[in-house]
A and B are shown apart, each in its own frame.
Chain A
Amino acid sequence: MSATTNEAVTRSDTAGPAPAPRPAARGFFAAGRHIPYALILPAVAVLLGIMAYPLFRLFDLSFQNINRYAYIVNPSLGKYIGFDGFGKILGDGQFWQVVLRSVYFTAELVILSMVLGMLFALLLNRVSNWVKVTVITVLMFVWAIPALVSGTVFRWLFASNGGVVDYIGFLLTGDESVKHYDWFGDPTVGLYVVSASVIIWGALPFLVLGLNAALTQVPKELMEAAKLDGAGPLQAFRHVVIPVIRPFLLVTTALSFIWDFQVFAQIFSLRNTSPEDGYWTIGIYLYEKGIVASKYSDSSVISIAMIVLMLAVLVFYIRQMLKIGANER
């Protein structure tokens, strides 16, 4: 709707009886139909150059057998092998292991961070004001910590020599052996407990603050009405609060999924740049194959699998966003 007014001016200018060329200074909106294309041209060029073309190369690479050696030293070794690359990766037990691990890990992270985020957001509405201000301040600082840095810090917290978490465990239990418990020895513990806690720690500020703000959108009258009608707190939450904050819940769940599924930096720095294969989620796997082992074609297949998995889950979210966007036009 905004476009129509400008264009109405434009059209009456250009379609007028005297098609005298306008001075350049007035040309911004007046120059006619190609103006919007000129405006989006740089963005389109960028997208073509560093998104569309690389995506094309991604598919191209996935049908070849290129690695770093074949690419840089001896290009004649590279050749097209059709779907053999896909067959190789999809037939690899490790690939499916990694995909499954990513699915479990993502599910754990999304569910835990959403539930915890919701609980603490509700808690923030119950506490006194000074507590609320304290919590919000702490959360802002946590939010500001870069992901790589939080991995580095947690590696120190959970260190088996001089790590404070082990020490607190010792203080609580009085058991000397707890003092040198190795959190990273068993990848299952290292991934599903330690890595998960770094990631959830980093995600909670956004979730708690966002959900808390969303909760303030719930009309007081509705809550009172529910109470008058005899609804308990749980019922009121389920039938009044949830429907009101539903759009925001959808967005945050989708965002959590996006971040958690492609998580890389936290695990990478937590394991001091060389995660053992028990820590390989799909992001790490891709890095290990593509950058560390320099198998460009293999990692292209993995990339395609990752994109497909991601978009398949997000179709509903994209539709939701477009609906929100459509209301604005």
Chain B
Amino acid sequence: MTTLDVQPAPQAEPAAATAKVRAKVRATGESRAMTWVWNTLGICFAAVMGFPIYWMIITTFKTNRDLISKDPTFWPSSFSFDSYSTIFDDKAFLPALQNTAVITLGSVLLGLVIGFLAAVGVARFNFRGRNFFIVTMLVVQMVPLLAILIPLYVVMNEAGLTSTLIGVVLAYLVFTVPYVVWTLRSFIVNIPAELDEAAMVDGCTKWGAFFRIILPLTLPGLITTGVYTWIQAWNEFIVVNTMLSSGGKQTSMAWLTFYATTPTRGADYGAQMAGALLVSVPVILLFVIFQKKVSAGLTAGAVKG
């Protein structure tokens, strides 16, 4: 993993540094005209990529008159927040958001605790079956979630856990635990064992060494995996939709998916876009705050999209 960890994470400072170097190189090598061609291409690329998001946001502020006008307008003639009040008036929206929050928090916490313990076991101890365990953790991540959906539902149903949030949290462990173990393992392996040894020589108890050395040094890894798990759990739809199908509970993704299925709302794209934006805001915020961690976490061994 060492080769991979350094690669992602678009970093501002190195980019600036290389830009200076490149500017010098360019003075001799590349012409200014070419730079402008590349810049134009780059801006076009950014515009095309950004346009759907721009369109989503701008649609939420449009008035009905703009929305049903024959030709779409690229800027609202007047701003209105009606779409947002439509969403907040929807009785299912806030409970769904709350369910999502509970499920996400639960699966992040549970996944991190279980995964962290196993990662310590795998990274710090030599035991029979360790390699088998590690290989299993990798292969299990390749099994498509969709493929075990039906038996998972059957098993949960027999355990009486369908249509409960706990059942969903448990079901999510199927993708959080292998990912957390696989990723945290490489974080813990890279902490030299001499460190906890030294701490113990200096009079730390073994628990002390664990809490003062291993835990703080694994913290970046815990944040990385935590953020990634959070995003996975928040965005998940198929499992939660199946598990909660009979209980009348919904998560925000399921709410959004089925919001447009009635004819009246199907045409109300203002409200749909407002809903879409609102359910993605927590994930967008996490991405913006932890952007380096997210990219690192993804390349560090994630398999699920």
Contact = CB atoms under 8 A, between A and B. Distances in A.
A123 B1 contact: no
Contacts of B56: 153, 156
Contact of B144 (A71, A148, A262): A262
Interface string B222-259: 00000000000011011000100100000001001110
A142 to B, nearest CB: 5
Interface stretch (A30-38, A88-96, A181-189, A234-242): A30-38
B86 to A, nearest CB: 15
A178 to B, nearest CB: 12
A291 B7 CA distance: 40
A280 B117 CA distance: 41
Query: Could you say which of A39, A123, A205, A286 has the most chain B C-beta atoms within 10 Å of its C-beta?
Result: A39
Interface residues of B, number: 131
Contacts of B127: 33, 36-37
Interface string A127-171: 111011111101111111111111011111101001110010000
A149 B276 contact: yes
A105 interface: no
Given A5-B197, A123-B42, A144-B284, A36 B121 contact: yes
Given A164-B55, A299-B150, A40 B193 contact: no
Interface of A: 1-7, 9, 25-30, 33, 35-40, 42-44, 46-47, 49-51, 53-58, 61, 71, 120, 123-129, 131-136, 138-150, 152-157, 159, 162-164, 167, 179, 201, 204-206, 209-210, 212-214, 216-217, 247-248, 251, 255, 258-259, 261-262, 264-265, 268-269, 272-273, 283, 286-287, 290-291, 296, 299-300, 303-304, 306-307, 310-311, 314, 318, 321-322, 324-325, 327-329
19 contacts: A3-B125, A29-B124, A40-B133, A51-B143, A54-B148, A134-B42, A144-B288, A149-B277, A156-B59, A164-B72, A210-B295, A217-B7, A268-B237, A273-B260, A286-B147, A290-B149, A304-B147, A322-B135, A325-B1
Interface of B: 1-4, 6-10, 12, 14-16, 18-19, 22, 30, 34-35, 38-39, 41-43, 45-46, 49-50, 52-53, 55-56, 59, 67-72, 113-115, 117-118, 120-127, 130, 133-136, 138-140, 142-152, 154-155, 170-171, 173-174, 177-178, 181, 186, 188-194, 196-197, 200, 205-207, 209-210, 234-235, 237-238, 242, 245, 253, 256-258, 260-261, 266, 269, 272-273, 276-277, 279-280, 283-284, 286-288, 291, 294-295, 298-299, 301-305
